Amino acid sequence: MSVYQAGLHSAKPPFTFQPSFWEPLAKDVLSANAWGYLHGNAGAGTSYQNNPSAFKHFSMMPRRTCQSLLNPRGQETLPDVSVTVFGEKLPFPVAMAPIGVQKIFDLEGESGAARGGASVGIPYILSTASSASIEEVSSAMDEVSPTARRWYQLYWPSRQHDDITISLLGRAKRAGYTVLFVTLDTYMLGWRPSDMDNGYNPFLHPDRIGVEIGLTDPAFRAHFKNEHGYGIEETNQQHHHHHTGTSSDKNKGGLGPAAREWAKIIFPGHPHTWDDIKFLKQHWDGPIVLKGIQDVEDAGKAKECGVQGIVFSNHGGRQMDGGLSSLATLPGIVRAVGDEMEIFFDSGIRCGADIIKALALGAKCVLVGRPYAYGLALGGGTVSRTFCGPCAETCS
Ligand code: FNR
């Protein structure tokens, strides 16, 4: 708002107000690897491309001189866009989508992004595939506002690793995260040609980008030691010959073996069953939201399971090619379960009008994804405009 007002007095803003420009600008400052990961999507990209096109199929019809639309608080001239989610009032119907390994976009990574959200009252959803720990991000948010809302996204380990799931949920609870988002569409990573062309998987480079990616978790550390006969610290030098990679494997040594093990656990390769949701309810005492629902029957099943919400999402087109846009099928879902659950929406939100359309079609709140990561790449505190990413050595 202050930037907007300064603009009325001819001051140039420190960023462009045209969100469609953020994407090409971010491409310019990111390494090819980081850009490929952030912008990339599944297969030939049809699910990805369908997301923005769907917004064009809906247009808004404004109403005029509507007394009932005036802000009831009298003097204020700005409309009240707040929304109540799980009994808490948010200033905007917006939260920050979980996005993994954000240190490849900016050295401050998740902490920088979460601080930005906290400073304007926007909840931050921390990914299980983060490059900063659960506790670290929470402390960063506390610096801005101890009451800032923090939510946790779970990539759900297979049931044989329940101890790790319980550990992650316990840590999130203790660190002040209040809502659990369980992502159901990523039990394995999508077929992403841009990452494959780059020969790049950010989850396997923890030491190059200085990330933690859950390697601090005590249950995971115990599992690793049990499995390999040595601890994660020891992987650094002495034991890299133990892991099974070939000699051409770029990830050998360092934290590579631990990162590979972690990726195997959080992307276990097979889906959970609806019955497994009971286990999560036993170990999380706040609201649970299932992320990645698209089908009406699945939304009905989510409701039967007694979870409090869903994120209607196609994962930004990153998981499955040849799918529908996320927006197209939103109205049907809202008709089916909208009265009983909180409906979040994501995939393709690029500007304010998109948010209004998603809300008009029945979503309660939207998650913004790639656009804030573009912003992090462009405006993040510690990275120069010409940076080649913290993994500079390996960038092409
Ligand atoms: C994601 N998304 C995601 N979702 C999730 O549940 N856990 C995660 O770790 C990630 N990681 C991730 C990384 C990157 C680089 C992107 C772009 C996305 C999906 C995310 O939460 C959201 O569903 C999409 O970003 C929505 O699509 P748009 O609007 O960003 O295109």
Strand pairing class (309-312; 94-96): unpaired
Q: What is the pLDDT of residue 15?
A: 83
| pLDDT tens digits along 140-184 | 999 999 999 999 999 999 999 999 999 999 999 999 999 999 999
The reply to whether 9 belongs to the active site is no
- At residue 15's C-alpha, the angle toward residues 12 and 17, to 5°, is 90
Does 183 contact ligand 1 (Cβ within 6 A)?
Answer: yes
End-to-end CA distance of the chain: 39
- Over residues 216-226, the mean pLDDT reads 94
Ligand 1 atom 19 nearest Cα = 315
Lowest mean per-residue pLDDT among 10-14, 23-27, 141-145, 362-366: 10-14
Contacts 24+ apart (CB under 8 A), 22-26: 22/371, 22/374, 22/375, 22/378, 23/370, 23/374, 25/374, 25/378, 26/105, 26/373, 26/374, 26/377, 26/378
Q: How far apart are CA 95 and CA 159, in angstroms?
A: 29
SS3 category, 378 = helix
**Residue pair 37/202 in contact by the 8 Å Cβ criterion:** yes
Q: What is the pLDDT of residue 253?
A: 56
Q: Which atom of ligand 1 is nearest to the CA of 38?
A: 15
Does 201 contact ligand 1 (Cβ within 6 A)?
Answer: no
Q: 13 vs 376, which has greater pLDDT?
A: 376
Compute, in degrees rounded to 10, the torsion defined by CA atoms 240, 244, 249, 251.
-50
**Residue 382 reports pLDDT greater than 50:** no
Q: Which residues are annotated as part of the binding site?
A: 37, 98-100, 127, 153, 155, 183, 192, 291, 313, 315, 318, 346-350, 369-370
**Residue pair 152/133 in contact by the 8 Å Cβ criterion:** no
- At residue 161's C-alpha, the angle toward residues 157 and 165, to 5°, is 60
Q: How far apart are CA 295 and CA 336, in angstroms?
A: 11
CATH H superfamily, domain 19-58+82-221+262-394: Aldolase class I (3.20.20.70)
Strand pairing class (150-154; 288-293): unpaired
3-state SS of the chain: helix, strand, coil percent to 5? Answer: 45, 10, 45
Q: How far apart are CA 102 and CA 341, in angstroms?
A: 30
Q: What residue ranges do the domains of the chain occupy?
A: 19-58+82-221+262-394
Q: Which residues are annotated as part of the binding site for FMN?
A: 98-100, 127, 153, 183, 291, 313, 346-350, 369-370
Q: Give me ligand 1 centre to Cα 252, in Å.
A: 28
Does 38 contact ligand 1 (Cβ within 6 A)?
Answer: yes
Q: 234 vs 244, which has greater pLDDT?
A: 234
Q: How far apart are CA 34 and CA 380, in angstroms?
A: 15
Q: Which region holds residue 11: left if phi is over 0, alpha if psi is between -120 and 50, else beta?
A: beta
What sections of the chain are H helices per DSSP? 2-8, 19-29, 32-39, 46-56, 109-119, 134-144, 162-174, 193-198, 218-228, 256-266, 277-283, 296-305, 330-337, 352-360, 370-379
| pLDDT tens digits along 272-326 | 999 999 999 999 999 999 999 999 999 999 999 999 999 999 999 999 999 999 8
Ligand 1 atom 4 nearest Cα = 98
* pTM of the entire predicted model: 0.91
